[in-house]
Amino acid sequence: MNIAVGIGGGGLKIAYEIGVIMELQNRGHRIVSSDGVSAGALVTALLIQHEWGLLEAVVKGGGPGDSRMWPALTEDVHRWRTGRELAWPMLTRGLRGVDSMGRNDRLWSNYLSRFIDADRAVIPGYVGCVEWNTPGSPYRSIAHDEHPAAWPRAVWGSATIPVIWEPVHWRDGTYLADGGLRTSVPIDDIMDRIVRGVQAAPDLVMAVPTNVEGQPADDVGPGLDGAALHTIGIMTAQIESDDVAAKPWWPDVPHVILRPTVDLGGTLESTPQTQLDRYEHGKERVREWSR
């Protein structure tokens, strides 16, 4: 079966989405395109290159302190959560007029600049971003071959949460920020391309969110980051419900929303066992859907 996938955000919970992808692959389904937003953009970037080993390494890389690639996404936040590098950077950066807690440079140097290359794409890929410095901050979907040299920066921008990290300069003076601010599961992007004739209709469009239906992304946790994550969770839960509801303009293409049936835990919860549990639940959900 030819499947176009839309991969949502969810921080470290994307281990669930990787489980879904790997099980689809194991069962002989053909993923013909991938759309991603936020952390899902990082999965899309590896998926379209058929980097199956690296996708599994994301799951098995563990949490902050591990030497593998995944901590590049979370090391800064981990330091803030444990009280290191929080108050002073916030104060000094705020006094200098900087609109974020820090720069997401580790993600670039440890991950994107090393592994992501538009020229190695095997299937089409798209990431959803917000144009941060454009009036109205519009959402746009960026194709891997739109500006190939700038594709890694588009992926970087899609995964960069404003306030926590600085928006990313993409090209020609345009700065990008987390696409999850506008859409948490980019199924609309897929349907739009089908309607416009840009993409052939697949056998199935599959959206893969990381939250149980109606559930905010995170419960209220301790500290500033806990409050921020819960606030974002309330917002994205509503965005997600709008994203995956059937739209009257959607083409007559079969689609499925393959969400988890168990709580996957917090966005930044990253013990090795938690990641493996999420991964296995993703595989289990594909097995259930296939019956």
Phi, psi at 164, each rounded to 5°: -70, -50
Total residues belonging to the chain:
291
68-72 mean pLDDT: 49
pLDDT band at 80; cut points 50, 70, 90 = very low
From CA 202, how far away is CA 255, in angstroms rounded? 10
226-274: per-residue pLDDT in tens? 666 666 666 666 666 666 666 777 888 999 999 999 988 877 777 788 8
Calculate Rg over the CA atoms of the chain.
18
| Percent of the chain clearing pLDDT 70 (strictly above) | 72
182-222: per-residue pLDDT in tens? 888 899 999 999 999 999 999 999 999 988 876 655 555 55
Please state, rounded to an integer, the average pLDDT across all residues of the chain.
Answer: 81
**142 compared with 271, residue with greater pLDDT:** 142
> Is 70 exceeded by the pLDDT of residue 124?
yes
**109 compared with 279, residue with greater pLDDT:** 279
- Count the neighbouring beta carbons within 10 Å of the beta carbon of residue 285: 20
pLDDT band at 78; cut points 50, 70, 90 = low
Burial (CB count <10 Å: 0-12, 13-18, 19+), residue 55: buried
pLDDT band at 28; cut points 50, 70, 90 = very high
Pull the structure tokens for residue 169. 């300069």
Contact 211, 259 (CB under 8 A): yes
Pull the structure tokens for residue 92. 């000094």
Give 177's strand partners: 130
